[in-house]
Amino acid sequence: MIAATLDGRGGLRVAEHARPVPASGEALIRVLAAGICSTDLELRKGYMGFAGIPGHEFVGVVVDATVPTDLLGARVVGEINAGCAACSYCREGLERHCPKRSVLGILNRSGALAEYVTLPVRNLHRVPADVTTDRALFTEPVAAAFEVLEQVRVQGGRVLVLGDGKLGQLVARVLDLAGAEVTVIGRHARKLAPLRADGFATLVAGRDAPPPAHSFRLVIEATGSPDGLEQALRFVQPRGTIVLKSTCAGARPMNLAPVVVDEVTVVGSRCGPFAPALEALARGRLRPEDTIDARFPLAEVERAFEVAESPGIRKVLLEVSA
């Protein structure tokens, strides 16, 4: 099969790989489509020291499994953390924090920018018939957005989202579903336009006047930038909460005294639950497929990454098989 391959030194190319063999408890999945996430762009820059096949957003069809499953032939999406199934985290349903976990296309597990991928059967979720493959492709990032609701109480108040990228957009919409009054600050009027059209308060950084300092009880940092926390600290109220969503390569000098002086709570937030994400997608409460700005065949993954890195571009999709 062919697959996108990172060499761990910034290089990306399409290469021939052996078709993966599902281990005990795993399924073999033929990939229909895969998405390029900001984390993939960071991986290429050196985040996590990853080399191999990237990709953790996918929709596929189960073609084989080493355990009995009613998912054979079904269209599925997959949770990306594969735990040991034995530790206290796995037993609490928090495989995503298992210390021995592998993570699809990120840590010790080949990813989905490939014709075939393997995952434990217990990680897979059937895609409802009325959810298109384009829409289902967003299950993982929508789940990451729903994770915010698992971690902090939103209570219908005013919330600031920093970042108009893929994740920031989804977080804004999920918070809106939860009843929050959402303001989004981004860098690109074009990216913000659909949010503005749907009634969100939007501000273009550097063009529009920023909100007053320290005026939000809850700030979601989804800038994808190492200075995201500093930006968030400018807007959060004393005793307020910042949810930190960006994982970035590289370190940045940072003065944490404002966190202490203002007694701010900073909550790291990563992967989330697939079930509420799929439900919201099935009900049509989110239409993230509107943010697909470009499509490429897998063989053109290098070009797809280039486009994904361009300013103002939201989701780039790879069409892998029909």
**Which residues contact a second copy by CB under 8 A?**
47, 89, 94, 97, 99, 151, 214, 226, 229, 238-239, 244-248, 250-270
Amino acid (one-letter) located at 33: A
Q: Which of 102, 99, 107, 119 is nearest to 23 (CA)?
A: 119
CB of 166 to a second copy, least distance (A): 16
Q: Nearer to a second copy by C-beta: 214 or 287?
A: 214
Residue 197: CB atoms within 10 Å: 9
CB of 302 to a second copy, least distance (A): 26
Residue 263: CB atoms within 10 Å: 10
Structure tokens at 153: 């109480």
Query: Measured between alpha carbons, how far is 263 from 259 in angstroms, rounded to an integer?
Result: 6
CB of 214 to a second copy, least distance (A): 7
Query: Measured between alpha carbons, how far is 43 from 118 in angstroms, rounded to an integer?
Result: 20
Backbone dihedral angles phi then psi of residue 244, each to the nearest 5 degrees: -100, 115
CB of 266 to a second copy, least distance (A): 4
CB of 34 to a second copy, least distance (A): 22
Q: How far is CA 252 from the centre of its chain?
A: 23
- Is the distance from CB of 294 to CB of 10 less than 8 angstroms? no
